Amino acid sequence: MLRTHTCGELSLRDVDKKVTLCGWLQRSRDLGGMTFVDLRDRYGITQLVFNMETLPHLCEAARKLGREYVLQVEGVVAERSSKNAKLSTGDIEILVSSFVVLNEAALPPFTIEENTDGGDDLRMKYRYLDIRRAPVREALLLRARVAAAARNYLTREGFVEVETPVLIKSTPEGARDFVVPSRMNQGEFYALPQSPQTFKQLLMVAGMDKYYQIVKCFRDEDLRADRQPEFTQIDCEMSFVTQEDILNTFEGMIRQLFQDVKGVDIGTLPRMTYADAMEHYGNDKPDIRFGMQLKDLGPLVKGKDFKVFDDAELVVAISVKGAAEYTRKQLDELTEWVKRPQLGMTGLVYARYGSDGSMKSSVDKFYGPEELAKWMSHCDAAPGDLVLILAGNEGKTRKAMSELRLEMGDRLGLRDKNTFNCLWVVDFPLLEWSEETARWHAMHHPFTSPKPEDFNLLENDPGKVRANAYDMVINGVEVGGGSIRIHDKTVQQQMFSLLGFSADEAQAQFGFLMNAFEFGAPPHGGIAFGFDRLCSLFGGADSIRDYIAFPKNNSGRDVMIDSPSPISAEQKKELGLH
C-alpha cells in the first residue's frame, strides 16, 4: 500500500506515530512561517503542516502545489493547538517530513468542497470531480449501505438474487420502451426492460419461490423534474403467498432499512384504502406527517344561489391551523397559486375563524354566520384557523386541493425531512379509464389480479373492480408498489381482452407468459421499490440525482460522455438502419 492510514482515521490516540497518507490537496494556506494543507480522500480530511523554520526547502516546495494535486505524504502525528470540532481528525495534524507528488492536476472548473460554486451542468460534466465533494460522496456511500442492508434482509428471508436479461421484447403496455436494433436480425429490435415483471413471474413458474434483484429499469418517458430514463429498483417476487404475507415481508424490510441506515424505528405501518386516501388527502400517496384532511363541503353549501358552488361537482375544503391572520396579499397570492395552469382552478374561497371567535368569508354575500359555523365544525377548524375552499370538476379540484394541502404543509413547516411516516395504500382500482385512448388501462399492470369478491363486476362495471394491489408510501412519496398476480391463463386472457387486446395480439405479445401458466403456475405476487428515491429519502434530499453516480440531465442527456450521440453511417448500415 502507498499509505499507512486514510485521511479520516487519525486521532489523539495516534500522536507521535509516523504515518504515510495519500490524497488530494483540497486547499492550502500559507502563513509565512508555516504552510497548512488540507489533504482529502474518501474517508475525510487531514491537516498537514509544513514548517519553514525546520524544513525550508520542503515548505517552499509545498507552496507550489496546486489544488487537487495527488500527494503521498510522510510525517508524524501531532496534537493541534487550535482544534477543529467539525472534522473527525480535527484534534491532530501531520508534521510533514517528506512528500511525493503522485500526480499533478489541472485547475478544477469549480471548487471541490462541501459547498461548491459549480452550477448543475458543470458539476455533471465533471461528475468525477463532483463525487470528490463530501455531500455527493456521502450520498453514494449511503446508497451502498441501503443496498447492502436490503440484500442482507432479503438473503436472511430466503430470497435469491437472480439476474434477468436486459435485451428483451418491446411491449405496448406501460411507458415507451427504449429499443436496440439487432445487427444479426436486421429490421428487428430488442427493448430494454421497463421492469423485469414477466421474468420474475416466470421465475415463480420455474419454482424459484422467492426472488429479488437490485436492477436497472428503463422508461422512455417525457422527463419530468427528477425523473431518470434509467433507474434502479429493488424488485421482488414470492410464491404461495397472500397479499398479507407480502405486506408483512416488505414492511419488515423497510423497518430493517430504517433501523440499519438511520437508526430509526418506524413501528408498524398503518394501512389506508385507496378510496380513503383519495377522499381525505386527494391523492393515492398521502403525506401523513400532518393532518389538514380534505373535507367535502358540497352538502353544506349547495342551493344558496352561489353559482360557483352550485355548479361544482366537488366543493372541498381544508382547515389551515393558525392561518386566520393571513393578509389579503397572502390570500391573493394563494389564489394566483391555485390558478396556475398546472392546477387550473378559477379561484379560491376562504373563511377566517378569528381568534376572537368571529367568522368571515370571501362569500359573505351568500352565506351567513350560522352557515359559516357549520363549515368550521365540519372542517374541524378552531379559532385562529383559516378554511380554504376549492370548487369545480371532481378530479381536477381534488388534485388541486391535494397540492394546496401540501403547499400549506410546507409553508407551516409540517413536512420535516427527518420525520418519517410510512404507510401502505391498499385496494387500488384494477383499471382506470383513459379519455385519450377511450379504453380501460391497467392501473398497476395487466398481470395484477382482481379481488375475488369483485370478480363478478369485471363484465359490467369494470371501473369498480378493486385489485390486490398495494403501494408503500413514505412522506407523500410512493417508494414501492406491487400486486398479487393473475396465475390463471383464462383470467389473464380475460384481462388482456378488457384492455383492448385481440386474442392474437395478446398471444403475440404475452404468449410466452400465458403458455407458461399452462405448466403449473403457483399463486404468486411481488413488489418493486424505487431504489434511487428510497436513498434520497433516507438522505433527506429532494432530488435523486446525487444518489446516482452518473445521472442524466433533464433532457435525458449524459453531458459527461455526451450521450445520446449520432453513430457513423457505417454502423447504421451494419444495423440495417437508414
Contact stretch for ligand ASP (CB under 6 A) within 26-34, 353-361, 366-374, 478-486: 478-486
Nearer to ligand ASP, 450 or 526 (CB): 526
3-state secondary structure of 430: coil
Assess contact for 130 and 124: CB atoms under 8 A.
yes
Report the b/e string of 103-120 with b at 16+ CB within 10 A: eeeeebebebbeebebee
How many chain residues are in contact with ligand ASP, going by CB under 6 A? 8
| The only residue of 45, 300, 430, 528 in contact with ligand ASP, by rule CB under 6 A | 528
Pick the closest to residue 146 from 217, 232, 87 (CA basis).
232
Q: Say whether residue 297 binds ligand ASP (CB under 6 A).
A: no
By CB neighbour count within 10 A (0-12 exposed, 13-18 middle, 19+ buried), where does 233 fall?
buried
Query: Where does residue 127 fall: left (phi above 0), alpha (psi -120 to 50 degrees), or beta otherwise?
Result: alpha
| The only residue of 28, 35, 47, 197 in contact with ligand ASP, by rule CB under 6 A | 197
| The only residue of 392, 446, 450, 481 in contact with ligand ASP, by rule CB under 6 A | 481
CA distance 506 to 510: 6
Assess contact for 406 and 288: CB atoms under 8 A.
no
Nearer to ligand ASP, 215 or 388 (CB): 215
CA distance 433 to 445: 14
Assess contact for 96 and 52: CB atoms under 8 A.
no
Nearer to ligand ASP, 475 or 483 (CB): 483
3-state SS record for 356-384: CCCEEECCCCCCCHHHHHHHHHHCCCCCC
3-state SS record for 207-234: CCCEEEEEEEEECCCCCCCCCCCEEEEE
Give me the least distance between CB of 485 and ligand ASP, in Å please.
8
Cα torsion through 167, 172, 173, 179, rounded to 10: 30
Q: Say whether residue 446 binds ligand ASP (CB under 6 A).
A: no
3-state secondary structure of 325: coil
H-helix or E-strand spanning residue 401 = helix 394-411
User: Which residues are CB-contacts of 137 (< 8 A; sequence separation ≥ 6)?
Assistant: 42, 131
Show the binding pattern over residues 146-185: x = contacts ligand ASP (CB under 6 A), - = does not. Answer: ----------------------------------------
Nearer to ligand ASP, 421 or 449 (CB): 449
Q: Say whether residue 228 binds ligand ASP (CB under 6 A).
A: no
| The only residue of 229, 476, 526, 551 in contact with ligand ASP, by rule CB under 6 A | 526
Give me the least distance between CB of 445 and ligand ASP, in Å please.
6
Give me the least distance between CB of 363 and ligand ASP, in Å please.
44
Nearer to ligand ASP, 401 or 528 (CB): 528
CA distance 326 to 384: 10
Q: Say whether residue 232 binds ligand ASP (CB under 6 A).
A: no
Give me the least distance between CB of 537 and ligand ASP, in Å please.
17
| The only residue of 26, 46, 89, 195 in contact with ligand ASP, by rule CB under 6 A | 195
Q: Say whether residue 193 binds ligand ASP (CB under 6 A).
A: no
Nearer to ligand ASP, 75 or 526 (CB): 526
Nearer to ligand ASP, 44 or 446 (CB): 446
Nearer to ligand ASP, 287 or 471 (CB): 471
Give me the least distance between CB of 236 and ligand ASP, in Å please.
7
Give me the least distance between CB of 491 and ligand ASP, in Å please.
17
| The only residue of 37, 62, 426, 527 in contact with ligand ASP, by rule CB under 6 A | 527
CA distance 346 to 552: 37
Give me the least distance between CB of 194 and ligand ASP, in Å please.
7
Pick the closest to residue 487 from 86, 214, 198, 104 (CA basis).
198
DSSP codes, 536-566:
HHHHT-S-SGGGSSS---TTS-BTTTTBS--
Q: Say whether residue 23 binds ligand ASP (CB under 6 A).
A: no
Task: Provide the binding-site residues for ligand ASP, judged by CB under 6 A.
Answer: 195, 197, 481-483, 526-528
